[in-house]
A and B are shown apart, each in its own frame.
Chain A
Amino acid sequence: MNIVDLMNSNGLYLAFLGSAIAAGLAGIGSAIGVGIVGQAAAGVVTEDPSKFGRTLLLQALPGTQGIYGLLIAFLIWTKIGVFGEAVEITMQQGLMFLMVGIPIGLVGFISAIYQGKAAAAGCSIIAKRPEELAKGMVYAAMVETYAVLALLASFLMLNGIRL
């Protein structure tokens, strides 16, 4: 196999790397974020166990980035034929898939952590004024906006790749 063939056919690795970045990094971020909220929530619940449900809502918020990451990874896999017939992918196309994973991977990673911090602060709202839960959720959701935009960016990039 000469170098030209190699360049033309081995894009699959890069596509996998792209999906790994999307699902992996965003997933790590969500794990950290959810963990941060969980710690704060446990503190609130020691004082008043009846607040479990409300804190759980806040804890779920930074979990979405991981889902967005998996979503993009899944779409990449569908496109490169992991579930069905394998598709021939060139190096250039592989690089494109790699880049598709970057927005949601990176932004998901960072934003989930910061959303977790915002939601953890929201837990102290629940501790003192449980009726203001929605405000705490909105603060956390403000952070998520950028993960949503990154998801959109990744999706549109992916949609633009022609095989």
Chain B
Amino acid sequence: MAIVKMKKVSIIALQSEKEQLVKRLQKFGGLHVIDLEEWITEDQNKDLLIDSETDKVNQLEAELSQVKFSYDFISKYDKTKKKMFAQKIQVSEKDYYENLNEKQKTNDIYEQCRAIDTKFAELKNAETKINNLIQQLEPWKSLNTKLDSIKNTRNVNIMLGFILTKYVEEFKDAIYNSGAEVNIEEISTDKENTYILLMNHNSAEDKVSTVQKQFSWTKVAFNDLTGTAEENIARLRNESSSINVEKEELTKKAEKLVQYKEFLEILHDVLANERDKNAVVTNFAKTEKSFIIHGWVPEKQASALTAALQEITDRFWIQYEDPNEDEEFPVLLDNPVVVKPLEMITEQYSLPNSRAIDPNLIMTPFFVMFFGMMVSDAGYGIVLAISTAIALIVLKPQGGMGKMLGLLCLGGISTFIWGAMFGGWFGVNLRPLWFNPLDNPLKMLIFCLILGVIQLYVGIGLQAYKNIRAGKYLDAIFDQGLWYLFLSGLMMMALPQVAVIGKYMAIGGAIGLIATQGRSEKGIIKKLINGVLSLYNVTGFLGDVLSYSRLFALGLATGVIGTVVNAMSSMLGGSFFGNILMVFFMIFGHTFNIAINVLGAYVHSSRLQYVEFFGKFFEGDGKPFVPFRTLSKYTK
């Protein structure tokens, strides 16, 4: 339906004009180039050579990664606030390509960024070392001896070390009791350890070291340091602050580079497109003097493609073909503005097959209606519709974000309508336009199930349409027509006025199904068995219909939670502060309710489409249409 018809296009042109032609094709932006592997195989076209510009692509990749590095680096120092939906930079085509010649500038910027980055890493390293050393020295601050003078004399061993504080007394006792000649001086104590200066006579070395081992003494040595611990700490602090100064200077340097940010953004796009231009060539085949492209182009753009090529040269050959009966072509969807947001829902499931039906148009009213019924509060609908509409108008978001906002806006409008129908306004029940589901739940439930039956019938109808389109008229009658008859009959039996007709319709349908559903089997018995078994599908249909009861249940949840919020916050009211608190609580509660229910409505409406509706007819696995075109991240 709304799957765009494609033409298969073959182009043969001269190597000498390849560069210009490729450039023009990229600007044209409507040609999906077919992978070479698909049409050059061992038995087909094997005489053709494969074109490629690998060297150029690699070189451009390298430049691009430089630009990316510089850009990421600079972005860290860009203090201007990031906008959520940044406007793209406008660049004229001439300026655009001139950027390609700025290799020197790019390289300079890259080198500068690199240098600053490396220097930063070095400084950080040095700083860590200094901080570690300071930490080690800290406990010895009160030691007045110069660190370089703490070494063994001829008869006396002097050492620094620490043990766990809780063992200090035991440690001392053990050493004194061992009879060794020692002097123990506690320098300082922190949460865990006690730091000790220990002197002992040479003769006592063995005894002391045994005790030390016993209490896991950790030896400390400051080999390269001169002066006292305190002097050293002061010196290191000095060094640290000079590192900080250096860092600040570097930061300033880096911040100066921020002015190149825009240049890098443009360059990024230019290089990326150049790379694409050279990469696409990989899917061209060539002979000595010519090259060949196979691709897909939307039917409507075919003549524009020829015209675009003619702008460059008239020495080329082009041919358009319709795809074969069984040939898959890339899928491009074309839908009205209102339906566009729904494409997101379908694409999340799977892109429809090129030969299948695009469900978006038919799905839209159902999805939007279900969404509204599940949230079903007119007040919430207004909030949702207006806020998303403002976002759409002011920010003009592209792509997925735009589709999402569009979807929520449609959902908001529908929510408003259904909320008014059922009389829910911010959790307060006003006079409903139709009826209040809380007062008449059965009516509501039946209404939901009827909607379900309608959507399922549409689904079955689409399958029938597909069969008819493919010329399988009998399949349409047997597989879908008889089911219509049977199911409608069953449902009519529930209504007294038409119960009799319903009974005969159901019986007729059932007999028809028993007779036809086993038709692909061999042998009369197998045919019959399969026919009878097929009637069990009615339980599947029943399950599908009952699944639509969620419309009611989720709508109920929104309304009642809204009431709960109102009831609880009005309990707070009364005093002045109570009233303020009440307002806050109401705003918070209703915001929460909107958020959780919009999420629920989105997920559950999607599920109804995916499981119940798509299950009846949908064929996915379409390959997306990816045209060769100018892509831009920052520019336009």
A, B in one complex:
yes
Binary per-residue interface labels of chain B (314-350) against chain A in the complex, 1 for a CB within 8 Å, 0 otherwise: 0000000000000000000000000000000100110
Q: A68-B557, A134-B348, A141-B607 are in contact. Are A149 and B441 (CB under 8 A)?
A: no
Most chain A CB within 10 A, of B349, B595, B607, is at: B607
Of A61, A142, A148, the contact of B554 (CB 8 Å cutoff): A148
* A151–B348 alpha-carbon span in the complex (Å): 28
Q: Is A28 an interface residue (CB 8 A)?
A: no
Chain A 114-159 interface residues, beta-carbon cutoff 8 Å to B: 132-135, 137-138, 140-142, 144-145, 148-149, 151-152, 155-156, 159
Q: Which residue of A lies closest to B345 (CB)?
A: A134
Q: State A90–B489 Cα separation when bound (angstroms).
A: 44
B window 601-616: CB within 8 A of A: 603-604, 606-607, 610-611
A132 to B564, CA, bound (A): 35
A86 at the binding interface (Cβ < 8 Å): no
A75 beta carbon closer than 8 Å to chain B: yes
Give the total of B residues in contact with A, Cβ under 8 Å.
Answer: 30
- Residue of B550, B560, B599 near A148 (CB, 8 A) is B550
Contacts known (A61-B603, A135-B348, A138-B603); A159 close to B441, Cβ less than 8 A:
yes
Q: Contact check, B550 vs A145: say whether CB atoms are below 8 A apart.
A: yes
Instruction: Decide: A57 and B599 in contact? CB cutoff 8 A.
Output: yes
Q: How many A-B residue pairs have CB under 8 A?
A: 76
Prevailing SS type, chain B contact patch? helix
The contact of B557 among A71, A83, A132, A159, by CB within 8 Å, is A71
Do A70 and B564 touch (CB < 8 A)?
Answer: yes
Bound CA–CA A152/B557 (angstroms): 10
Question: Are the CB atoms of A145 and B348 closer together than 8 Å?
Answer: no
Q: Which chain B residues (548-606) contact chain A, with CB distance < 8 Å?
A: 549-550, 552-554, 556-557, 560-561, 563-564, 567, 595-596, 599-600, 603-604, 606
* Residues of A close to B194: CB separation below 8 A: none
Interface string of A65-104 (1 = CB under 8 A from B): 0011011001100000001000000000000000000000
How far does the alpha carbon of A70 sit from the alpha carbon of B564 in the complex, in Å? 9
B188 contacts chain A at the CB level, 8 A cutoff: no
Let me know if B547 is at the binding interface, CB within 8 A.
yes
State whether A71 touches B561 (Cβ < 8 A). Answer: yes
- CB distance B557 to A67 under 8 Å? yes
Determine the chain A residues whose CB is within 8 A of the CB of B348 once the complex forms. Answer: 132-135
A19 at the interface (CB under 8 A from B): no
Q: Which residues of B contact A31 (CB under 8 A)?
A: none
**Cα of A138 to Cα of B552 in the assembled complex, Å:** 19
Q: Is A111 engaged at the interface, CB distance under 8 Å to the other chain?
A: no
Residues of A within 8 A of B561 (CB): 67, 70-71
Least CB distance, A40 to chain B, in whole angstroms: 18
* CB neighbours of B445 from chain A (8 A): 152, 156
A155–B553 contact, CB under 8 A? yes
A-B contact list, 27 entries, CB within 8 Å: A57-B599, A61-B603, A64-B557, A64-B596, A67-B557, A67-B561, A71-B556, A71-B561, A71-B564, A75-B560, A134-B606, A135-B348, A137-B603, A137-B606, A138-B607, A138-B610, A141-B603, A141-B606, A142-B607, A145-B547, A149-B549, A151-B553, A151-B556, A152-B553, A155-B441, A155-B553, A156-B442
Given contacts A61-B599, A133-B348, A141-B604, 11 further A-B contacts (CB under 8 A): A64-B557, A71-B560, A74-B564, A134-B349, A134-B606, A135-B348, A138-B607, A145-B550, A148-B553, A152-B553, A155-B553
Interface residues of B (CB under 8 A from A): 345, 348-349, 441-442, 445, 546-547, 549-550, 552-554, 556-557, 560-561, 563-564, 567, 595-596, 599-600, 603-604, 606-607, 610-611
